[in-house]
Amino acid sequence: MLEMLGTSLVSALTPPQIIYMIIGVLFGVVMGFIPGIGGVFVLVMLLPFVFNLSTEAAIALLISAHAVVATGGSISAILFGVPGSPVNAATVFDGYPMSQKGQAGRAIGVALGSSTLGGIIGAIVLLMLIPVVRPIVMSFGPAEMLFLALTGVSMISVLSGSNPIKGAIAGMFGILISLVGEDWVTGAMRYTFNSLYLWDGLKMLPVLLGLFAVSEMVHLCITGGAIAKGRVKIEDSPITGLLDVVKNWWLVVKCAVIGAVIGIIPGLGGDIANFIAYGYAGQSSGNKNNMGTGVVQGVLGPESANNAKEGGALVPTLAFGIPGSAGMAVLLGALTIIGLIPGRDLLGPQLSSVILIIAMLVISNIFGAALILPFVKYLARITTVNVTILAPIVLIITMIGAFNASRSFGDIVTLLIFGFIGYEMKKLGYSRPALILGFILGVIIERNMWLSYNLYGIEMMKRPVVLILTMLLLLIFFGPVIKSKMAHKKGVI
């Protein structure tokens, strides 16, 4: 396999492939930067061009573009508090406060370094799992997904900041609004008030952009000045950020593994990978109480996870033809167009193409970061521009992004309503991240709860992965209590 990897690397680095990779990376980064344009859109846009390309060139174009979308999205998340797509939502929590402190360059450096490392680790995970992937993917049924989603809910405590009651209310409210629309089990309409727009439920994009982008822009217009507050020294060099990644390399690796593992599970959706990694980064770095104030770990955790998840998501896509997300479904279609049939063929006679995909993942992640690095200095300067010029432009682009969620005016109204809710929540100390996490997980929990109940009944608790996840959940909930009791006991003795 190593020999094949070498051959694929050589094949990936031939001039035509490099040109297609450059085009793909440029396209992916720019598209990722624009709010509302995710990986799916990028792949759909490139799809018509792959018909006339060789297999290698098509892989170079598609994989490189898809791999760096999250990297592009992290820049708008850090500079303006506007996540490029849901996978960048958790980057806003600490990346944007870093920009406000004048550390935009450092934050982008952290994002680029951890994204690159995460992407490479994701590719390595894919490479290592190919021979053993079948039992791993097959061991994840609805019951396992339910408990993994419940583990995700436990991260609300990390995202709640200093007010756990308000955090819990926000998380529960998020779960409740995720239930708007047609019930998956019975087909009954819930909270739709006879509105056709609400039949399909509230769309993720307008809710997310409203909560973070609109509320942030309104807040900035009121406070005035620039994004970088006060007379802060603008740290526009990304070098400090890259050094932060080196210093925290073990945390980056662990978060990347979290991202890759979540990416592997079809149907769970990579959107939660960055939240779980964020929560983990906060807990394991001992910086839990400072999360949300502009902590380096709050950027490198989610950024490494969201790039690593692409490698993980490719595992079921390539091995079984089971796309874990909409993006992977489009990629699957594209691979079929260029003659790659996922499954036995791809892992047998066409294995060299899989290795080329892995090589492309690695190279495009490095190349994406290298492409942005020279511009970080100028990007960081945007935070010093008067916000009354930036805000209306960002608001209109956000509106265009939100509208493309379902191409209905309802998207714009949703954006406005959640913009107002997000603004009030920010001002009054309610956790917006907790709400969005609840919103993402609500539907996943409900669907998998009914599925696993119908399939296994109470027997689901006896499944090995469920048992492990239950123990993990108990540890998350009672761990801090036991830890403090033990510390107290030690203090008494």
Partner 1 sequence: MGKEKNIFAIVLLLILIIMVLLAFGFNKFAAFMPLVIGIPAVILAAVNIFVEFKHDKEAEQKGLEKTSSKFSWWVAHGDELLIWFWVLGLVILVGMIGVLWGGGTFLFLFLLFKSKQKLHISLLITIIFMLAIYTFLFNVLSLKLYPGILL
Structure tokens at 44: 């759909």
**Which one of 227, 310, 442, 460 is in contact with partner 1 (CB under 8 A)?**
442
- For residue 53, state whether it binds partner 1 (rule: CB under 8 A): no
C-alpha to C-alpha distance for 447 and 300, rounded to whole angstroms: 31
- Considering only 198-206, 306-314, 349-357, 395-403, which stretch makes contact with partner 1 by CB under 8 A? 395-403
Q: Which of 23, 137, 326, 412 binds partner 1 (CB under 8 A)?
A: 412
The answer to whether residue 392 forms part of the interface with partner 1 (CB under 8 A) is yes
Nearer to partner 1, 10 or 396 (CB): 396
Q: Which stretch binds partner 1 (CB under 8 A): 280-288, 369-377, 418-426, 457-465?
A: 418-426
Among 5, 18, 53, 179, binds partner 1 (CB under 8 A): 179
Interface residue with partner 1 among 252, 296, 395, 451 (CB under 8 A) is 395
Binder of partner 1 out of 169, 232, 465, 472 (CB under 8 A): 169
Looking at 50, 90, 214, 328, which residue binds partner 1 (CB under 8 A)?
214
Q: 290 or 470, CB closer to partner 1?
A: 470
The residue from 2, 389, 481, 492 that contacts partner 1 (CB under 8 A) is 389
Least Å distance between CB 166 and partner 1? 6
Q: How near is the Cβ of 418 to partner 1 at its closest, in Å?
A: 12
Q: Among candidates 440, 446, 421, which has minimal Cα distance to 431?
A: 421
Using the rule CB under 8 A, which residue among 47, 221, 351, 366 binds partner 1? Answer: 221
Report the alpha-carbon distance of residue 4 to residue 404 in Å, rounded.
42
| Residue (51 or 409) nearer to partner 1, CB | 409
Closest separation in Å from C-beta 192 to partner 1: 10
Q: Which residue of 370, 393, 471, 487 would you call a contact of partner 1, by CB under 8 A?
A: 393
Distance CA 137, CA 322 (A): 10
- Toward partner 1, which CB reaches closer, 172 or 243? 172
Nearer to partner 1, 31 or 110 (CB): 31
Per-residue mark of binding to partner 1, 21-50 (x: CB under 8 A): -------------x--x-------x-----
404 lies in the binding site for partner 1 (CB under 8 A): yes
Q: Using CB under 8 A, pick the residue from 77, 305, 445, 469 that binds partner 1.
A: 445
Q: Is 162 exposed, middle or buried (0-12, 13-18, 19+ CB in 10 A)?
A: exposed
Euclidean distance between CA atoms 239 and 110, whole angstroms: 9
Distance CA 116, CA 96 (A): 20
Stretch of 67-75, 93-101, 178-186, 238-246 lying at the interface with partner 1 (CB under 8 A): 178-186
For 326, other C-beta atoms within 10 Å of its C-beta total 15
Residues engaged in binding partner 1 (CB under 8 A): 34, 37, 45, 165-166, 168-169, 172-173, 175-176, 179, 183, 185-186, 188, 190-191, 214, 218, 221-222, 386, 388-389, 391-393, 395-396, 399-400, 403-404, 407, 409, 412-413, 416, 419-420, 424, 427-428, 442, 445-446, 449-450
